[in-house]
Amino acid sequence: MSLREQLQTALKEAMKAKEADRLSTLRLINAAIKDREIALRGESEAGEVDDTAITAILGKMVKQRQESARAYEEGGRLELAEKEMAEIGVISEFLPRQLEAGEVGAAIDAAIDAAGATSIRDMGKVMAVLKAKYTGQMDFGAVGPMVKDKLA
């Protein structure tokens, strides 16, 4: 079952169970996917997004909500921070499992070998290999410095 079908099924189940918060988050996900499809229509004829693009959208949504929750906590708005964290929980259900530190290190080593990287100039090649294989499974903002250290 594709990620889009999983989202539609979850949306229907949330409607039937009258889970308002979950339903709201699932509708936000669908809206983000629709926005991306509309943006793609302007670029090309194909307006469908695939599972990889949906995973990227979901990852971006999680990151946005983490930043919002942090800001709400700093501002003393704990009820809003809790709402953001609940949305992260719903969105995360559709993301692949995040790699652990040891797995990330092994993935970086494999990507360096696959790209034939020898210096810091090859960092873009290594990151491209990682993004192609591990989208949604690791935080590339944190992985970048790790790749840089290994290539230096």
Is residue 46 scored above 90 in pLDDT?
Answer: no
| Alpha carbons within 13 A on the beta-carbon side of 71 | 7
| Structure tokens given for 139 | 């935080």
For residue 55, what are the contacts with CB-CB under 8 A and spacing of at least 6? 3, 95, 96, 135, 136
**pLDDT cut 90: percent of the chain above it:** 40
> What's the average model confidence in pLDDT over 27-41?
90
Query: What pLDDT score was predicted for residue 47?
Result: 64
**Higher pLDDT residue, 52 or 107?**
107
Q: What predicted TM-score, i.e. pTM, was given to this entire model?
A: 0.74
Nearest to 40, CA basis, from 52, 53, 27: 53
Which of the residue ranges 39-48, 78-87, 93-102, 108-117 would you say has the lowest mean pLDDT?
Answer: 39-48
Give exposure, 39-54, as e/b (b: 16+ Cβ within 10 Å).
Answer: eeeeeeeeeebeeebb
Q: How far is CA 152 from the centre of its chain?
A: 28
Is residue 82 scored above 70 in pLDDT?
Answer: yes
Rg (CA), the chain: 18
Report in angstroms the alpha-carbon separations of 137 from 3, 141, 147: 15, 12, 16
**Higher pLDDT residue, 46 or 145?**
145
Q: Mind listing the domains of the chain with CATH numbers?
A: 3-92 (1.10.1510.10), 101-151 (1.10.10)
